[in-house]
A and B are shown apart, each in its own frame.
Chain A
Amino acid sequence: QQPVQSPQAVILREGEDAVINCSSSKALYSVHWYRQKHGEAPVFLMILLKGGEQKGHEKISASFNEKKQQSSLYLTASQLSYSGTYFCGTVISSGSARQLTFGSGTQLTVLP
């Protein structure tokens, strides 16, 4: 039931854009996105509910395609502070609504 994230790692220059994908084989109720910097705890970015809505946080936004059970995280005009590992977490519709299952993460490195 673990969602699949891609790519596993990405390296950018400051100002470039990136997209991180998260997909599930199960019907999803919601998708969460978190960012973790090295040696620190994960920090919440946003939650998306089924319905295809898009949300934004600074220059980071995300979408949720309910039909495809996929979510994408968009980082535009990346900054050095965006470096870290990004995790998506999913809650499946048919299971317990209290289990948030995380993907294995995408390591993002932004170079000057």
Chain B
Amino acid sequence: NAGVTQTPKFQVLKTGQSMTLQCAQDMNHEYMSWYRQDPGMGLRLIHYSVGAGITDQGEVPNGYNVSRSTTEDFPLRLLSAAPSQTSVYFCASSYRDSALPGSPLHFGNGTRLTVT
């Protein structure tokens, strides 16, 4: 059981480049989300999805785009990378909305992104 798989683990981009961070889960979870983690700021929600075809913005959505064409996949796109997007990105999934009891978030191992 792979759980939540993120690729790549590390990435270096130049300012202005675009890329897609991949996230896949094999637990048939309805809810998927992307967080970024910066020192001293905890985890901040970028975008989330409550099911295939449904996405919504979190706290810090600017500069990022998402889609959810299947239950399993939830890619995060950086449209034009900026140094401020240097961070560690975590994808997480949950059986249902993360607010409900018995529905903890399962995190991937993260992608460390550096924008120069």
Query: With the chains together, A41 CA to B45 CA distance in Å?
Result: 15
Indicate whether A64 reaches chain B with its CB closer than 8 angstroms.
no
Assess whether A104 is in contact with B58, with CB atoms less than 8 Å apart.
Answer: no
Shortest A69–chain B CB gap in Å is: 15
Query: With the chains together, A30 CA to B94 CA distance in Å?
Result: 15
Interface size (B, Cβ < 8 Å)? 28
- Ranked 8 nearest A-B pairs via Cβ: A44-B104, A41-B107, A91-B99, A104-B42, A102-B43, A97-B99, A102-B42, A100-B98
Shortest B29–chain A CB gap in Å is: 13
Assess whether B99 is in contact with A103, with CB atoms less than 8 Å apart.
Answer: no
Out of A42, A91, A96, A103, which one reaches B56, CB within 8 Å?
A96
Chain A residues at the B interface, C-beta cutoff of 8 Å: 1-2, 29-30, 32, 34, 40-44, 47, 49, 87, 89, 91, 96-105
Out of B42, B48, B59, B110, which one reaches A98, CB within 8 Å?
B48
Q: Known contacts A96-B56, A104-B40; is A42 also within 8 Å of B45 by CB?
A: no
Residues of A within 8 A of B48 (CB): 98-99
Shortest A64–chain B CB gap in Å is: 12
Complex: chain B residue closest to A33, CB-CB: B104
Assess whether B42 is in contact with A32, with CB atoms less than 8 Å apart.
Answer: no
Shortest A57–chain B CB gap in Å is: 11
Taken residue by residue from 14 to 53, chain B's Cβ proximity to chain A (1 for < 8 Å, 0 otherwise) reads as 0000000000000000010101000011111100101000
Query: With the chains together, A29 CA to B100 CA distance in Å?
Result: 9
Indicate whether B106 reaches chain A with its CB closer than 8 angstroms.
yes
Out of A47, A87, A100, which one reaches B45, CB within 8 Å?
A100
Shortest B51–chain A CB gap in Å is: 11
